[in-house]
Structure 1
C-alpha cells in the first residue's frame, strides 16, 4: 500500500513493511521540510514555525516523472498488486501526478519483471480518497484490514469505494484568519471574510464537513472546548448507529495530550470500545498542520450521511 504524507495514520501503520509513503516537500521562506511521517521532522517543523504555523508555506509535491521513479524503485519486483491512496484530487495535484506516474512506470516495471522471470500479472491502482488528513486515514486503515485478512485484490475495490464514498471528515480550525488564507490557496471558499471577522472577535470555531472532494461549514460554536466536545458527541452518535469501517480517526495540529485530556474524548472512547471501533488520536501531518493551522483538529469516519445537526 502507498499513501501520501498528508494521510493521518499511526506510527505502527507506517512501520508496516508493506506500506510506503510518498513524501511531500514543504517550503516556508528559505527552509524546506519534508513531510514523510517522521516524528523528528514534525517536531522540528512545529518548533521552528510557531507550533505549526505555515501560512506562507508552499507544498511541492512530486511530479509525474518523480512519482514514476519512486514507484519503479520500490514496487517493480517485490509486489504483484499495489494500491496507492491519495489526498483528494480537488485540492491537490498529488493524485494526478501519481496516476500519470504509475502509467509512465508500467512499461518499465513489466520489462524488469520479465527479465527477472516473473510471469505473474502486475496491477497498480491509484485511488482518490476524495478527502484529506484524518479523512484519508480511514480508507487507508480499512484497506490495511482487508490486506491483513488476505482479501483478494479483485474483491477489494467495491468495499473500499463504499468506504471512500461515505467517509465524513470534520475540520475545526483554531484560527479563522489563518484557515481562510490557507483554504483559498487550496481553492476552498468555505470560510468567508465576514465569518472570519465576526468569528475572531467572538472566539467562534467553525466545524467544516469534507466529503467527496467538497467542503462546507455545518456548525459553529463558541470556543475550542465546546466545538470539540460537540463534534466528539456527534461522532459518538454515528458510532452507535454503525460504521462501514471500524476506525475513527482524530488528528491534531498540536500536542496530542490537549485532545486526550478532554472528558468528551473519554466518552467517545468508551462508545468506540463498546461498539468495537478503533479510536485513533494522532498528531496531524506537517501538510495538515500547514493547511489547518496550529491548534486545528480533524475527525473522520465512514458511515451513512447524517442530518448534519450538532
Structure 2
C-alpha cells in the first residue's frame, strides 16, 4: 500500500486542487464490515485493511475475493482459532486517510466495528485527528477555503451489523440529504440495528469471542449444547451481545432466524436493507424455504436482501459455517 507523506502531498500537483470543484464526500469502513459489492464499487469508498496472522502467514482482509478464497482454502474453509488480527495503529490510520482523501474531499465519514470489541475505533479516531491537521494545512496552501470535516462513527455492532449503517449512509448521500441531517439519521439507524450471530461450532466461537471480551457463550453451553448439536442465536446491539435462542441444529437455527427477519421486514424496517453474511460457500444457503420466504418478503416491501461472503475477520472470529444477519428496525415483539 502506497503511503503519502503529508508535506509531499501538500506540495504535489498530482491531486485535485481546484477550489471551484463540487464538494465530495468519502466513506471509510474497516474490513470487518460486511457490505454489498455495489457499495464497494463506488470511487468514494475506501476500506481500512486488517492484517490477519495465522502462524507464519499473514492475510490482508480488505474485501478482496481472491484473498478471502485463499484464506478459506488454506484454513479449513475459514477456521482461524489461533489467528491474530493486527489492526492499523493511529499513525498508520493517519497515513491511510491521507493517501485516500488528501485534497479531493471536503467531508469524510469513517464507520468502524464496535469500540467495545475492537481497538480499531480508537485508532481511527486518533488517526483522523492527525490526518485532518495535515489535510487542512495542505488545503490552505492550495487556496481551498471550504471547510473540511472528518467524522469517525462507532457502529456499535460487527460484521453484517456494521454494514447496515454504512449502506444507509451511502443511500443518504446519494439522495443528497443535507449534511446537518445525516448524523442524526445515521445514529437512529445505529441504535436500531439488530445483528444476529449463529456460530456453527460452539467451542470455536467461545474461544474466539473471549478474545474480543464477549462472554455470551458459556463453557457449560459448549459442553452440553455441543453434544446435542444445539446452535445458539446471539443478538448484537448497541455494543453488547446476548444469547436469545437455542435451536436444534443448523437448519433449525437458520429457519427460525430467517422467519424472524421476514416478520420484521413485513412490519417495516428503518432502512431498506437486510444483510446476511456467511463464513462458507454461499450455495450452502440456497434451498432453505425460510430464506425464500425472507426473499419474497423483501421483494414485496422493496427491501434489498444482500447475501454476502463474510469478511476474513468475521470468519476468523465466528468460525467456519457461521452466519450473521442484520437489519435496522423496532425491537418490540422480536421473538423466536
Equivalent of 1:142, from 164, 168, 178?
168
| CA–CA distance in structure 1, aligned partners of residues 99 and 58 of structure 2 | 24
Task: Indicate the RMSD between aligned Cα atoms, in angstroms.
Answer: 0.7
| CA–CA distance in structure 1, aligned partners of residues 151 and 287 of structure 2 | 40
Query: How many residues matched?
Result: 310
| CA–CA distance in structure 1, aligned partners of residues 45 and 332 of structure 2 | 32
State the TM-score, normalized to the length of structure 2: 0.91
| CA–CA distance in structure 1, aligned partners of residues 155 and 262 of structure 2 | 23
| CA–CA distance in structure 1, aligned partners of residues 190 and 330 of structure 2 | 11
**1:309 is aligned to 2:335:** yes
- Alignment gaps of 5+ in structure 1: none
Q: Tell me the residue number matched to 2:5.
A: none
Instruction: Give matches, 1:1-310, under 5 Å.
Output: 1-310=27-336
- Alignment gaps of 5+ in structure 2: 1-26
Which of structure 1's runs of 4+ aligned residues deviate more than 6 A? none
| CA–CA distance in structure 2, aligned partners of residues 307 and 181 of structure 1 | 31
Does the CA contact (< 8 Å) of 1:169 and 1:299 recur in 2?
A: yes
SS of residue matched to 2:276: strand
| CA–CA distance in structure 2, aligned partners of residues 255 and 72 of structure 1 | 36
Deviations 1:272-298 (A, max 9, x none): 111111100100000000000000000
Does the CA contact (< 8 Å) of 2:260 and 2:334 recur in 1?
A: no
Quote the offset at 1:308 in angstroms.
4.0
| CA–CA distance in structure 1, aligned partners of residues 53 and 296 of structure 2 | 40
* Pair member with larger Rg: 2
| CA–CA distance in structure 2, aligned partners of residues 74 and 46 of structure 1 | 29
Does the CA contact (< 8 Å) of 2:258 and 2:290 recur in 1?
A: yes
| CA–CA distance in structure 2, aligned partners of residues 308 and 240 of structure 1 | 13
State the TM-score, normalized to the length of structure 1: 0.99
Quote the offset at 1:256 in angstroms.
0.7
Quote the offset at 1:249 in angstroms.
0.3
SS of residue matched to 1:156: helix
| CA–CA distance in structure 2, aligned partners of residues 15 and 101 of structure 1 | 25
| CA–CA distance in structure 1, aligned partners of residues 220 and 208 of structure 2 | 16
